[in-house]
Amino acid sequence: MTEKEIRSNFIEYASQAELNAEDRELAAEAIAAMNNAYAPYSHFHVGAAVRMSNGQIVRGSNQENAAFPSGLCAERTAMFAAGAKFPDKDMRAIALAGGVHGRLTDRPVTPCGACRQVMAQYQAKAGKPMSVLMVGAKAIWKFERVDDILPFIFDSI
Ligand code: THU
Protein backbone atom coordinates (compact mmCIF):
# COMPACT_ATOMS: atom_id res chain seq x y z
CA MET A 1 0.00 0.00 0.00
CA THR A 2 1.30 3.41 -0.92
CA GLU A 3 -0.30 6.65 0.07
CA LYS A 4 -0.15 9.20 -2.73
CA GLU A 5 -0.89 12.91 -2.91
CA ILE A 6 -2.29 15.12 -5.65
CA ARG A 7 -1.12 18.71 -5.75
CA SER A 8 -2.87 21.59 -7.43
CA ASN A 9 -1.10 24.86 -8.10
CA PHE A 10 -2.70 28.20 -8.72
CA ILE A 11 -1.94 31.87 -8.39
CA GLU A 12 -4.14 34.26 -6.44
CA TYR A 13 -4.24 37.89 -7.55
CA ALA A 14 -5.78 40.60 -5.39
CA SER A 15 -7.13 42.62 -8.31
CA GLN A 16 -7.39 42.76 -12.10
CA ALA A 17 -4.58 45.35 -12.10
CA GLU A 18 -2.15 42.59 -11.10
CA LEU A 19 -2.93 40.49 -14.19
CA ASN A 20 -0.81 40.50 -17.34
CA ALA A 21 -2.33 42.35 -20.30
CA GLU A 22 -3.75 39.23 -22.00
CA ASP A 23 -5.40 37.93 -18.83
CA ARG A 24 -6.72 41.38 -17.98
CA GLU A 25 -8.35 41.57 -21.41
CA LEU A 26 -9.84 38.08 -21.04
CA ALA A 27 -11.16 38.90 -17.55
CA ALA A 28 -12.83 42.05 -18.93
CA GLU A 29 -14.40 39.99 -21.74
CA ALA A 30 -15.80 37.47 -19.25
CA ILE A 31 -17.22 40.26 -17.09
CA ALA A 32 -18.79 41.92 -20.16
CA ALA A 33 -20.31 38.57 -21.18
CA MET A 34 -22.24 38.45 -17.88
CA ASN A 35 -24.60 41.01 -19.42
CA ASN A 36 -25.67 38.48 -22.05
CA ALA A 37 -26.73 35.81 -19.55
CA TYR A 38 -30.29 34.52 -19.73
CA ALA A 39 -30.96 33.47 -16.15
CA PRO A 40 -34.66 33.95 -15.35
CA TYR A 41 -34.56 31.15 -12.72
CA SER A 42 -31.33 31.55 -10.78
CA HIS A 43 -30.83 35.27 -11.53
CA PHE A 44 -27.13 34.44 -11.33
CA HIS A 45 -25.31 35.83 -14.35
CA VAL A 46 -22.13 34.11 -15.48
CA GLY A 47 -19.85 35.22 -18.31
CA ALA A 48 -17.00 33.33 -19.92
CA ALA A 49 -14.43 34.18 -22.56
CA VAL A 50 -12.19 31.80 -24.50
CA ARG A 51 -8.93 32.93 -26.12
CA MET A 52 -8.10 31.02 -29.29
CA SER A 53 -4.68 30.31 -30.77
CA ASN A 54 -5.42 32.86 -33.53
CA GLY A 55 -5.95 35.57 -30.89
CA GLN A 56 -9.72 35.67 -31.30
CA ILE A 57 -11.85 35.81 -28.16
CA VAL A 58 -15.22 34.04 -28.02
CA ARG A 59 -17.71 34.98 -25.31
CA GLY A 60 -20.38 32.85 -23.67
CA SER A 61 -22.92 33.29 -20.90
CA ASN A 62 -25.24 30.99 -19.01
CA GLN A 63 -28.48 30.24 -20.85
CA GLU A 64 -31.23 28.78 -18.69
CA ASN A 65 -34.37 26.91 -19.73
CA ALA A 66 -37.66 25.97 -18.08
CA ALA A 67 -36.65 22.34 -18.72
CA PHE A 68 -33.75 22.81 -16.31
CA PRO A 69 -31.18 20.34 -17.68
CA SER A 70 -31.56 21.91 -21.13
CA GLY A 71 -29.84 25.09 -19.98
CA LEU A 72 -26.10 25.50 -20.23
CA CYS A 73 -23.32 27.10 -18.20
CA ALA A 74 -21.41 30.09 -19.52
CA GLU A 75 -18.17 28.12 -19.90
CA ARG A 76 -19.63 25.40 -22.11
CA THR A 77 -21.63 27.96 -24.10
CA ALA A 78 -18.35 29.79 -24.80
CA MET A 79 -16.29 26.66 -25.54
CA PHE A 80 -18.90 25.10 -27.84
CA ALA A 81 -19.31 28.40 -29.70
CA ALA A 82 -15.51 28.63 -30.01
CA GLY A 83 -15.25 25.03 -31.20
CA ALA A 84 -18.01 25.57 -33.73
CA LYS A 85 -16.58 28.84 -35.01
CA PHE A 86 -12.88 27.92 -35.07
CA PRO A 87 -12.74 24.12 -35.41
CA ASP A 88 -9.08 24.15 -36.48
CA LYS A 89 -7.80 26.45 -33.72
CA ASP A 90 -6.75 25.65 -30.16
CA MET A 91 -8.33 27.04 -27.01
CA ARG A 92 -5.50 28.57 -25.02
CA ALA A 93 -7.31 30.15 -22.10
CA ILE A 94 -10.73 30.59 -20.55
CA ALA A 95 -11.88 33.20 -18.05
CA LEU A 96 -15.13 33.27 -16.10
CA ALA A 97 -16.93 35.66 -13.82
CA GLY A 98 -20.33 35.68 -12.19
CA GLY A 99 -22.66 37.71 -10.06
CA VAL A 100 -26.08 39.21 -9.55
CA HIS A 101 -27.26 42.47 -11.18
CA GLY A 102 -23.83 42.93 -12.76
CA ARG A 103 -22.09 42.88 -9.39
CA LEU A 104 -19.21 40.40 -9.32
CA THR A 105 -19.05 37.85 -6.54
CA ASP A 106 -16.25 38.60 -4.08
CA ARG A 107 -14.88 35.06 -4.31
CA PRO A 108 -14.27 33.72 -7.82
CA VAL A 109 -16.97 31.47 -9.29
CA THR A 110 -15.53 27.97 -9.76
CA PRO A 111 -16.65 25.89 -12.76
CA CYS A 112 -18.89 22.86 -12.39
CA GLY A 113 -17.58 19.36 -13.02
CA ALA A 114 -19.17 19.05 -16.47
CA CYS A 115 -17.51 22.27 -17.65
CA ARG A 116 -14.16 21.07 -16.29
CA GLN A 117 -14.52 17.85 -18.27
CA VAL A 118 -15.20 19.82 -21.45
CA MET A 119 -12.21 22.10 -20.76
CA ALA A 120 -10.02 19.04 -20.23
CA GLN A 121 -11.00 17.55 -23.56
CA TYR A 122 -10.39 20.74 -25.56
CA GLN A 123 -7.02 21.00 -23.82
CA ALA A 124 -6.24 17.40 -24.81
CA LYS A 125 -7.37 18.14 -28.38
CA ALA A 126 -4.94 21.07 -28.49
CA GLY A 127 -2.11 19.11 -26.89
CA LYS A 128 -1.15 22.29 -25.06
CA PRO A 129 -2.12 23.74 -21.69
CA MET A 130 -5.31 25.78 -21.45
CA SER A 131 -5.28 28.22 -18.55
CA VAL A 132 -8.35 28.90 -16.42
CA LEU A 133 -8.89 32.33 -14.90
CA MET A 134 -11.62 32.64 -12.26
CA VAL A 135 -12.44 36.27 -11.65
CA GLY A 136 -13.89 37.58 -8.39
CA ALA A 137 -14.05 41.11 -7.02
CA LYS A 138 -11.75 40.37 -4.08
CA ALA A 139 -9.62 37.59 -5.58
CA ILE A 140 -8.69 36.19 -8.99
CA TRP A 141 -7.44 32.63 -9.31
CA LYS A 142 -5.32 31.46 -12.22
CA PHE A 143 -4.75 27.79 -12.98
CA GLU A 144 -2.15 27.25 -15.71
CA ARG A 145 -3.70 24.00 -16.91
CA VAL A 146 -7.02 22.21 -16.59
CA ASP A 147 -5.30 19.30 -14.84
CA ASP A 148 -5.04 21.55 -11.80
CA ILE A 149 -8.83 21.66 -11.43
CA LEU A 150 -9.65 18.19 -12.75
CA PRO A 151 -7.20 15.41 -11.97
CA PHE A 152 -7.81 11.90 -13.33
CA ILE A 153 -9.89 13.03 -16.31
CA PHE A 154 -11.74 10.23 -18.07
CA ASP A 155 -9.75 9.69 -21.28
CA SER A 156 -9.99 5.97 -21.87
CA ILE A 157 -11.88 5.90 -25.19
N1 THU B 1 -23.30 28.59 -13.87
C2 THU B 1 -22.43 28.83 -14.87
O3 THU B 1 -22.82 29.28 -15.96
N4 THU B 1 -21.12 28.58 -14.67
C5 THU B 1 -20.59 28.18 -13.47
O6 THU B 1 -19.39 28.00 -13.36
C7 THU B 1 -21.48 27.96 -12.33
C8 THU B 1 -22.92 28.02 -12.60
C9 THU B 1 -24.71 28.92 -14.09
C10 THU B 1 -25.65 27.75 -14.22
C11 THU B 1 -26.96 28.38 -13.82
O12 THU B 1 -27.52 29.04 -14.95
C13 THU B 1 -26.58 29.44 -12.81
O14 THU B 1 -25.19 29.67 -13.00
C15 THU B 1 -26.83 29.05 -11.37
O16 THU B 1 -26.26 27.85 -11.06
Give the tens place of pLDDT for each residue, 16-52.
999 999 999 999 999 999 999 999 999 999 999 999 9
Give the architecture-level CATH label for domain 11-148. Answer: 3-Layer(aba) Sandwich (3.40)
Report the residue count for the chain: 157
DSSP H helical ranges for 34-112: 74-85
Cβ atoms of residues 41 and 100 within 8 Å:
no
Ligand 1 lined by 104 (C-beta under 6 Å): no
Among 61, 73, 75, 104, which residue has the most ligand 1 atoms within 8 Å of its CB, making it the best to mutate? Answer: 73
* Cα 112 to ligand 1 centroid, rounded to whole Å: 8
Render pLDDT for 55-78 as a digit per residue (tens, 0 to 9): 999 999 999 999 999 999 999 999
pTM: 0.96
Q: Is 75 an active-site residue?
A: yes
Query: In the chain, where are the structural domains located?
Result: 11-148
